[in-house]
């Protein structure tokens, strides 16, 4: 069982420990890492990287970063790459970003996107603040369609 959990063929989620295993990332063909934390390290590889400096706290505004993250995931995949999204434990922040991507670029409902990520990584649990931000994001995308 890989420590990088495949949400889609080109989108993975993990905790920081797995994200910093160079061999694992190279084996899986990861070309881009989104690190959703203030302090966790990046893997020591020449990859495209993005840090989203938020704590796993319900009052943190993660939704400000949704579009930036989902567009980076989308452009990585469209260019033939693979994206890994991670945070310290791979449960709340990284899951929230993966769910936001599925809502926007796979046209999924929040419920279906959550179930899809949960199916590959059962330990995910976006905190209640992030969940309500995802609900708002889903509504805003529906209004724009």
CATH number of the domain within which 31 lies: 3.90.190.10
Is 108 among the domain residues?
yes
Q: For all residues of the chain together, what is the average pLDDT?
A: 96
Q: Which of 4, 18, 24, 9 is nearest to 82 (CA)?
A: 9
d(C-alpha 58, C-alpha 142), whole Å: 24
Is 114 among the domain residues?
yes
pLDDT digits (tens, 9 = 90+) for 59-103: 999 999 999 999 999 999 999 999 999 999 999 999 999 999 999
Q: Does residue 87 have an active-site annotation?
A: yes
Q: Dihedrals φ, ψ of 56, to 5°? A: -85, 80
Lowest mean pLDDT among 74-83, 111-120, 135-144: 135-144
| Residue 31 CB partners (closer than 8 Å, separation 6+) | 47, 48, 76, 81, 82, 83
Is 115 among the domain residues?
yes
- When pLDDT is cut at 50, 70 and 90, the band that residue 2 belongs to is low
**Structural domain harbouring 132:** 5-138
- When pLDDT is cut at 50, 70 and 90, the band that residue 118 belongs to is very high
In the set 20, 83, 87, 98, the catalytic residue is: 87
In this structure, the dihedral spanned by the alpha carbons of residues 99, 101, 107 and 112, taken in order and rounded to 10 degrees, is -10
d(C-alpha 74, C-alpha 53), whole Å: 21
Is 143 among the domain residues?
no
Is 16 among the domain residues?
yes
pLDDT digits (tens, 9 = 90+) for 8-31: 999 999 999 999 999 999 999 999
Domain count, the chain: 1
Is 24 among the domain residues?
yes
């Amino acid at each position: 069982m890989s420590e990088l959990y495949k949400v889609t063929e080109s989108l993975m989620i993990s905790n920081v420990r797995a994200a910093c295993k160079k061999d694992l990332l190279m084996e899986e063909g990861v070309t881009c890492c989104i690190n959703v934390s203030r302090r966790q390290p990046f893997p020591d590889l020449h990859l495209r990287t993005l840090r989203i400096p938020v704590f796993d706290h319900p009052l943190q505004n993660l939704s400000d970063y949704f579009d930036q993250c989902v567009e980076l995931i989308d452009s990585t995949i469209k260019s033939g790459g693979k994206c890994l999204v991670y945070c310290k434990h791979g449960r709340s922040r990284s899951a929230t970003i993966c769910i936001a991507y599925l809502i926007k670029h796979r046209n999924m409902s929040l419920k279906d996107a959550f179930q899809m990520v949960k199916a590959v990584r059962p330990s995910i649990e976006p905190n209640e603040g992030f969940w309500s931000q995802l609900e708002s994001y889903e509504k805003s995308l529906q209004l724009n369609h």
